[in-house]
């Protein structure tokens, strides 16, 4: 928790498109122990939501309500996903949102996972001219299948897909 505070404490974040904006800033609070180790809150929510943003004993960033839903393998993955949302929404010619069972119709053949977001319940996929964000944290944590959301950012050129970063890093 001390290392998290030293690196991330006080960082104000832009609103996330899901999870009612996510935490407004990163600031650890309320450590809790269980058989897996220490958990702590990642930061305060922007709005009243039925879950907390948490860091797990293994360093995953996620939400906890009825059950744990690890969104990203690390806090860095969450921060990268916020940057990618901002970038993709600026450069996409079209943004399409699908909810619930409509998410099942997305075909990801020919798409590659975006490694930088370190996605678990929430993943990003890069295709020939689009980026796809899949959000399933609320569906998992709240047992609410309609909470699955996909956002497709299409009409992207090479800059929109990669932001000037090559595949090797």
Verify that 85 and 152 share a domain, yes or no.
yes
* Number of structural domains the chain divides into: 2
24 and 7 share a domain?
yes
Residue 27, domain extent: 2-73
- The sheet with strand 29-34 has its strands ordered as 29-34, 37-41, 52-55, 61-64, 68-72
Report if residue 106 sits inside a domain. yes
On whether residue 141 sits in a domain, the answer given is yes
Distance CA 70, CA 127 (A): 24
The domain boundary residue, chosen from 73, 89, 113: 73
Give this prediction's pTM. Answer: 0.88
Q: Are residues 84 and 144 in the same domain?
A: yes
Q: Is residue 169 part of a domain?
A: no
- Contacts of range 72-77, beta carbons closer than 8 Å, 24 or more positions apart: 72/117, 72/118, 72/119, 72/120, 72/122, 73/118, 73/119, 73/120, 74/118, 75/4, 75/8, 75/26, 75/42, 76/118, 77/116, 77/117, 77/118, 77/119
For position 166, what pLDDT does the model report? 52
Predicted pLDDT at 169: 46
User: Is position 143 within any domain?
Assistant: yes
Percent of the chain with pLDDT strictly greater than 90: 69
* Residues 85 and 65 reside in one and the same domain: no
Q: Do 96 and 57 share a structural domain?
A: no
Last residue of a domain, one of 73, 107, 131: 73
d(CA 154, CA 83): 17
Count of beta carbons in the 10 Å neighbourhood of residue 42: 24
Task: Identify the domain boundary among 73, 97, 127.
Answer: 73
pLDDT value, residue 68: 93
What DSSP element (H or E) covers 2? helix 2-8
pLDDT-flagged residues of the chain (< 50) = 169
CA neighbor of 77 nearest in space, from 131, 41, 116: 116
């Amino acid at each position: 928790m001390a290392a998290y505070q030293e690196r991330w404490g006080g960082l104000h974040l832009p609103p996330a498109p899901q999870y009612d904006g996510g935490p407004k800033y990163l600031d650890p609070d309320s450590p809790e122990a269980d058989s897996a180790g220490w958990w702590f809150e990642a930061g305060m929510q922007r709005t009243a939501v039925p879950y907390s943003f948490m860091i797990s004993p293994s360093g995953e960033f996620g939400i906890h309500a009825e059950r744990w839903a690890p969104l990203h393998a690390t806090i860095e993955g969450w921060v990268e996903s916020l940057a990618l949302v901002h970038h993709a929404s600026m450069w996409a010619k079209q943004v399409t949102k699908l909810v619930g069972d409509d998410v099942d119709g997305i075909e990801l053949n020919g798409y590659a996972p975006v490694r930088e977001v370190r996605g678990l319940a929430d993943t990003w996929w890069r295709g020939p001219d689009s980026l796809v964000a899949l959000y399933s944290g609320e569906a998992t944590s709240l047992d609410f299948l309609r909470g699955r959301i996909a956002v497709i950012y299409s009409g992207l050129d090479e800059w929109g897909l990669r932001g000037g970063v090559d595949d090797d890093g």
